[in-house]
């Protein structure tokens, strides 16, 4: 069976991006283990997604059969993004840390996924994620915000929101002190990649 990979980059750097380097290496490792794999790629900085707004809320709040043509067009992109996540065996996400948190481009993608009845639902026992199949590997890249530190709001948010969607198998590859010691930062990330179960 084909192994489906969803590859998401979010760095605003057109060149020299550590998170892009890491996601590329992670995908290459997965492809080496699964020669028949397929890859769906999105560069959210090069091709930004539209932010959620009042028109988006209105479009997703009515049943599909009752949407106007304009509402159907608005909801279609969100539908497609959710299907990409649902159909993935592994999601590889580039996470450059900007000002201690995730890039705005990545937040927009997550907002477009965060639809009640599609990505999650509320029950008497609390929220339940509805996307339970994929595994996520996140390439965490920072000049000095150490992963898991008190000032790291990026990795904790990603683990929480993906878990909220039902994606609980979340792993991190981290180059988190590049400006302090580039060599050891890159080595740590490469060691993480080498230790991944493909």
Q: Which residues are annotated as a binding site for FMN?
A: 11, 17-19
Phi/psi of residue 91, nearest 5 degrees? -110, 125
Q: Which residues are annotated as a binding site?
A: 11, 17-19
* Beta pairing, strands 135-141 & 90-96: parallel
Rounded-to-integer distance, Cα 29 and Cα 27, Å: 5
Q: Say how many C-beta atoms besides its own lie within 10 A of residue 98's C-beta.
A: 17
Q: Dump the DSSP string for 56-123.
A: HHHHHTS-GGG--HHHHHHHHHHHHHHHHHHH-SEEEEEEE-BTTB--HHHHHHHHHH--BTTTEEEE
């Amino acid at each position: 069976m084909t192994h489906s990979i969803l590859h998401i980059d979010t760095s605003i750097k057109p060149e020299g991006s550590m998170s892009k380097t890491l996601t590329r290496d992670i995908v290459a490792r997965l492809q080496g283990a699964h020669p028949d794999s397929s890859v769906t790629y999105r560069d959210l900085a090069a091709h930004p997604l539209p932010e959620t707004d009042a028109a988006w809320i209105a479009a997703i709040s009515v049943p599909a059969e009752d949407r106007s043509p304009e509402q159907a067009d608005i909801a279609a992109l969100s539908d497609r993004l959710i299907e990409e996540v649902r159909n993935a065996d592994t999601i590889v996400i580039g996470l450059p840390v900007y000002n201690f948190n995730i890039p705005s481009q990545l937040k927009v993608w997550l907002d477009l996924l965060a639809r009640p009845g599609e990505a999650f639902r509320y029950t008497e026992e609390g929220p339940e994620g509805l996307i339970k199949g994929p595994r996520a590997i996140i390439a965490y890249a920072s000049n000095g915000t150490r992963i898991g530190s008190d000032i790291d709001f990026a990795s904790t948010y990603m683990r929480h929101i993906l878990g909220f969607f039902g994606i609980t198998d979340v792993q991190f590859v981290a180059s988190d002190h590049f400006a302090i010691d580039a060599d050891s930062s890159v080595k740590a990330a490469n060691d993480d990649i080498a230790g991944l179960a493909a």
